[in-house]
Structures are given as structure tokens and as C-alpha cells.
């Protein structure tokens, strides 16, 4: 039973693990493009993907629309908050940043909203 669920949610699990890895590794010394708030944009993009993939997996798991919204929003938002706490507590020189978490929340709402909205419109 658990393996079946893991197979249904495999894309969500993979995206969540990639985000976890990217969030907890030491920041490599690479030059990022000179885009204002590039860090916040990357948070929003990562969590938009996570929210969208999770919403799609919930739909594939035949969840009702309300559950797609509740779980599709709540799980990534809590996940992003926990990662920020872990960064601040255990992964120096990483730091916890409320603005990063806000970007995570905005991305989650966008990704989940797009998939759930399209699904609802098609139903």
C-alpha cells in the first residue's frame, strides 16, 4: 500500500528531495545572473514546481478538489518552513530567512493554483 502511494507521488518526492538538497548544501561560489532578487525568484520557481507536481499527483490519486487545495498548499508551505528552520539551526553558513519562506509560499500558491484551477475548469 505504501509503495503504491510512493509510486503515485514519485514526482513530488523527487522534486521535494531536489529542493532539500539544493537548500542544505553549501552555497557554491558561482556567479548568478545580475537579476534583482534572483534568490527569491528561484524559491518561487522551485515551490511552484513542487506545488504543481503535488497537485497533479493528488489529482492522479483521485483526491477531491478540496483535498488538492488543502494538501497541495499545506504540505509544501510546511516543508519550506521546516527547511528554513533547518538551515538556520544546523547548516551554517546557510541562514533562515522569512522572505525565502514567503517566496516559497507564493510559489506554492501559484503552482497549486494553476494545476487545480485548470483541473477544476476541465471537470
Is 24 strand, coil or helix? Answer: helix
Q: pLDDT tens digit string along 8-36?
A: 899 999 999 999 999 888 766 666 667 66
Predicted local confidence at residue 122, as pLDDT: 81
**Confidence band (pLDDT; 50, 70, 90) for 38?**
confident
Among 5-14, 18-27, 37-46, 47-56, which range has the highest average pLDDT? 47-56
* d(C-alpha 100, C-alpha 97), whole Å: 5
Place of cell 514519485: 10
Please state, rounded to an integer, the average pLDDT across all residues of the chain.
87
* CA dihedral sign, ordered 82, 84, 90, 91: positive
Measured CA to CA, the distance from residue 103 to residue 90 in angstroms comes to 21
| C-alpha grid cell, residue 48 | 511552484
What integer pLDDT is reported at residue 33 of this predicted model? 67
Q: Where are any strands of DSSP class E within 2-88?
A: none
Q: Which cell goes with 59?
A: 489529482
Neighbour tally for 119: CB within 10 Å: 15
Amino acid at each position: 500500500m505504501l509503495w503504491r502511494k510512493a509510486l503515485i507521488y514519485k514526482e513530488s518526492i523527487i522534486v521535494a528531495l531536489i529542493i532539500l538538497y539544493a537548500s542544505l548544501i553549501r552555497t557554491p561560489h558561482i556567479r548568478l545572473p545580475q537579476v534583482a532578487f534572483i534568490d527569491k525568484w528561484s524559491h518561487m520557481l522551485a515551490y511552484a514546481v513542487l506545488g504543481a507536481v503535488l497537485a497533479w499527483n493528488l489529482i492522479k490519486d483521485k483526491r477531491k478538489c478540496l483535498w488538492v487545495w488543502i494538501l497541495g498548499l499545506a504540505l509544501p508551505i510546511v516543508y519550506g518552513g521546516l527547511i528554513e528552520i533547518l538551515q538556520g539551526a544546523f547548516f551554517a553558513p546557510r541562514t533562515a530567512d522569512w522572505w525565502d519562506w514567503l517566496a516559497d509560499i507564493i510559489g506554492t500558491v501559484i503552482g497549486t493554483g494553476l494545476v487545480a484551477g485548470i483541473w477544476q475548469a476541465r471537470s
